[in-house]
Structure 1
Amino acid sequence: MAPAPAFSRPPAPSYLGPRFAPGYTPYVAKKSNAGVVVAVAIIGIVAVVGGLVAGVALLGGSTRHVADAGYSSTYPSETSETSETPSETTVETTETTSTTRTSERTSATPTSETPRGPRPVAATGDNPLFANPDYGLQNIPCSLSRWATDQNSATRFFQSGIGCLDAMWSRMLGAVNLPFRTPNLSVPRSLSESSTPCGSGGTATGVTPFYCPSNDTIYMPMDRIEIETWGNHPGPYLSILAHEYGHHVQNLAGIDDAYSSQRYDAGADSALGLELSRRMELEAQCFSGMFLGSASVSGGSVDKNIYNEAWNAQDRGDDYARNGKRDHGSAKHNIAWWQHGATKNRNQQCNTWLSASADVS
């Protein structure tokens, strides 16, 4: 199990401005005899020889952004391989007696073979995502659609944001042999239109944007993204999207499975159950900060203005008393964990599961 991250108490005084996340440009080498190597490259070269991918060089752009030389770019040199057992084929021969000809047909019999490729690991604090203190998001330029407060523009903005999040998190998950798939997106006019496997009209999700793991969908209802508060400032909306995407990452990694089991055993509304919920939410806050911090030094659409807007918009949490439960963490800790992720950009620094209860209250 990885050691508990040293949780520092941000933020610096606002007049000093936020610090920016260190850059991160890893290289991932694969074994030459790996069955299947899947790499997603936005900017870079994928070398294909005879249908076998021998290696993937992941580049964050023509310039490598390394803001803090103290952070090395360490990824595992090799990833574990999923054992594959060839499926057996049953051959049946059918003889036709009414003619002089014999016909043969071949049918494949389904087997109980383990699905190929990376699989989630049902674990929280000791999840592979936190296996190395140097694992973090690669700095990749993000190209965002222009934000506006109408539904069509907001949908395009969130779609472009998911593209940016995909580019970063697909590399991170692939490097530690965890599965990746892009989430779905729904931007209804109101929460009441959000009938989902996780609840209808917000009955199971509170009154804010949410992620439903049952159908891999991020819901961003127009009447719940606080347009009356943030107006035409895109930073807060992007950070909310990145928070919900953080829950998608937890689902892909297997953190959500382990959390759900532990919370069920503890009782959802018990003291332990609520603390587990806070750990889940504050980790998603930290992941959101990681994305904004990494994108802010990449030379794309996420400039200092968007980053500063997001930095100053994290005072959400149980202080809003949306449902009367202490299941999201205080505003103080929502601010602290988001800014911690933004300035550290390391997965292990977001491992709320190994942090003291006082840091997730």
Structure 2
Amino acid sequence: MDRNLDVRPEKNNPFAILGVLVLVLGVVGVVALTGRALTPVRGIAQPAPDALARAASPEPPRPAEPTDSAEPEATGGLLGEGVVLAGVACELPGLGGSDEQLTAFYSAALTCLDTAWEPVLTSTGATFAEAGIEIASDAASSCGEVPGADEATAFYCGADSVIHMPKARIMDYLGLYEPAHLGVLAHEYGHHVQQLSGTLMSAGLRSGLSGPGSELDLEITRRIELQANCLAGLFLAAASGRGDISEDEARAAVADFANSIDSDTHGTLANQIRWAEIGFEGNGTAACDTWTVPAADVA
């Protein structure tokens, strides 16, 4: 079957990759596009009870350690040495513009993502659960109000493990260019992996303690987002040249991370590309350790 590999729309919003939103059970970082200016927007999505208790506590954290580092307390073994994704053959229908065709493509891609990531997560002690998919622009989210098209192209809600790929904005920004759809979906699924491994909760608590919009808060957000780029690259490498994802398509999906701009929440364009490539060329999840690298590597 011919894949849609050369029909990316000329009209492209720079947030096709950048404008993703992670809604987790803690403080949420949103990037909004106002004209050509980047505006950080803050929101709160249904925190877990213990997170609320910690955030509301009048007692400051004991030593400064929990607040002067961007490294989360635990990653559930996700980044351990020798943790690798086995090759996976994705069976994908053709990408089309109808609701049925788009849902069928995403559902098949999610099945492949599940197949790739479930053994990895269970081997590290995490409990695996599938991610859901929603393409409706007005769909309810357990994480609160759904952001507008000017705020996010796609987003993941950790409260119900649903990836939102609102059809109208997705088609406007990506058209039927299949590699871009795969890249965005793999990035969002990277947040699902972070959620299941405990990375998002740990990082969210640390981010909340640092204060919305603080330098540490923004750095933590960049480490989350750049790691999701890397995890997407890992999956694309595992699927490359197998099933319905050719090596050319996998490389095109990685290359599409260049369709972005510098951001204080997602990192410089150079780093966004670099971390996707690190994942694609990496030998395992340890390559995606954005938490112990120098701040310059996640700027």
Partner of 1:183: 131
Matched, 1:223 2:168: yes
CA distance in 1, matches of 2:117, 2:259: 24
Q: Among residues 136, 139, 153, which one is paired with 1:208 in the alignment?
A: 153
Structure 1 residue 306: Cα displacement: 1.6
* TM-score, length basis structure 1: 0.60
Aligned-pair CA distance for 1:311: 2.4
What is the match of residue 37 of structure 2? none
Alpha-carbon distance change, 203 to 236 in structure 1, aligned in 2, over 3 angstroms: closer
How well do the aligned residues superpose, as a CA RMSD in angstroms? 2.1
Are 1:335 and 2:273 matched, yes or no? yes
The CA deviation at 1:309 is: 2.2
State the AA in 2 paired with 1:256: L
Aligned pair 1:194/2:132, yes or no?
A: no
Structure 1 residue 178: Cα displacement: 1.2
Q: Is the 8 A contact 2:74 2:198 kept in 1?
A: no
Instruction: Give yes or no for contact 1:137–1:169 (8 Å, CA) kept in 2.
Output: yes
Bigger fraction of residues in helix = 2
> Alignment partner of 1:210: what SS?
strand
AA partner of residue 257 (structure 2): Q
Distance 2:116 2:80 in 1: 18
1: CA distance, partners of 2:283 / 2:174: 25
Change (3 A) 1:170 1:137: same
Report the equivalent of 1:281. 225
After superposition, the Cα gap between the structure-2 partners of 1:340 and 1:124, relative to the gap in structure 1 and judged at 3 Å, is farther
Cα distance, 1:143 vs. partner? 0.8
Correspondence for 2:80 among 119, 131, 152: 131
* Residues 1-361 of structure 1 aligned to structure 2 (within 5 Å): 123=72, 127-132=76-81, 134-188=82-136, 190=137, 193-202=138-147, 206-225=151-170, 227-297=171-241, 299-317=242-260, 319=262, 326-361=264-299
Alpha-carbon shift at residue 304 of structure 1 (Å)? 2.2
Deviates further, 200-209 or 277-286: 200-209
Alignment partners' CA distance in 1, 2:238 and 2:153: 25
Q: CA deviation at 1:289?
A: 0.6
Task: Provide the rounded CA distance (Å) in 2 between the counterparts of 1:176 and 1:143.
Answer: 27
Amino acid in the other structure paired with 1:170: E
**Distance (whole Å) between structure 1 residues aligned to residue 97 and residue 73 of structure 2:** 37
CA deviation vs aligned residue, 1:132-176 (integer Å, no higher than 9, x gap)? 1x2111102111121112222111100001000000100101111
Residues 183, 217 of structure 1: 8 Å contact kept: yes
Partners of 2:149 and 2:298 lie apart in 1 by 22
CA distance in 2 between partners of 1:137 and 1:246 (Å): 13
Q: Residues 69-118 of structure 1: CA distance to partner in whole angstroms, max 9, x if unpaired?
A: xxxxxxxxxxxxxxxxxxxxxxxxxxxxxxxxxxxxxxxxxxxxxxxxxx
Q: Contact between 2:75 and 2:197, CA under 8 Å: does it hold in 1?
A: no
Query: CA–CA distance in 1 between the matches of 2:186 and 2:127?
Result: 19
What code does the residue aligned with 1:314 have? Answer: F
For residue 290 of structure 1, what is the amino acid of its counterpart?
Answer: L
C-alpha contact 1:123 1:255 (8 A) present in aligned 2: yes
**Gaps (5+ residues) in structure 1?**
1-121
Report the CA distance between 1:355 and its aligned residue.
1.0
Change (3 A) 1:357 1:123: closer
Structure 1 segments of 4+ aligned residues over 4 angstroms from their partners: 122-126
Cα distance between partner residues in 2 of 1:260 and 1:343: 28
For 1:248 and 1:179, the matched residues in 2 are separated by: 12
Identity of matched residues, %: 31
Greater relative contact order (CA < 8 Å, ≥ 6 in sequence): 2
How far 1:308 sits from its partner (Å)? 2.9
Change in CA separation of 1:307 and 1:126 when aligned onto 2, cut-off 3 Å: closer
TM-score, structure 2 length as denominator?
0.72
Moved more, 306-315 or 332-341: 306-315
Tell me: CA distance 1:174–1:160, structure 2 relative to 1, closer, same or farther (3 Å).
same
